[in-house]
Amino acid sequence: MAFTVGGRRISGRVSGRFAVMVLAMLFCFCGAPAEAQDWVPELQPPAAGTFFTADEAIVIVIPDEVAAGAAVQLAIELDEFDVTALLHQEGGRLILDPPEPLATGEHRLRLVEYGADGSIIERGAWMFEVRDGEALREISASANNGVTCSIAWPATT
């Protein structure tokens, strides 16, 4: 068997054992079910654009194949507490609707998958900020009330 690499011809024999290993690896990577393959969830952006409000639902989007797979066991942690029982699923969306408003400040959200062998695979981890929307509106409104800017140019003759 011969290959050309960088304009150079390389030849040699490929053993049957090596060919079987390559085919087995291809089968493992290409033929594995979706839940066994790597997948990456996405945290849906907050409605305000850059921060969550205290009573806003948090949505994680997962691939449809994973959402449909009954073999995948997922758990979610908010600030290192398991809040999986508070989740509900709508298609490919996991929705965490906190029973009480979240405290203002930084929060950590983590999505993990429990493997059949007992392993724990972290599928996603996010830091997000919760702000009090009413306080921000009041601050920005009062900051804009008294600003006056005037520019005077010297007269030219």
- Distance between CA 5 and CA 62 in Å, rounded? 40
* Comparison of pLDDT for 122 and 15, the residue scoring more: 122
- Distance between CA 125 and CA 112 in Å, rounded? 9
- Interval 36-92: pLDDT, tens: 468 899 999 998 788 999 999 999 999 988 888 756 789 999 999 999 999 999 989
Per-residue pLDDT averaged across 121-135, rounded? Answer: 86
Domain 34-135 of CATH type 1.10.3720.10 = no
Note whether 83 and 107 are within 8 A (CB).
no
pLDDT above 80 (res 136): no
Evaluated on CA atoms 63, 65, 67, 73, the torsion sign reads: negative
pTM for this model (two decimals): 0.61
What is the pLDDT of the chain when averaged over all its residues?
Answer: 73
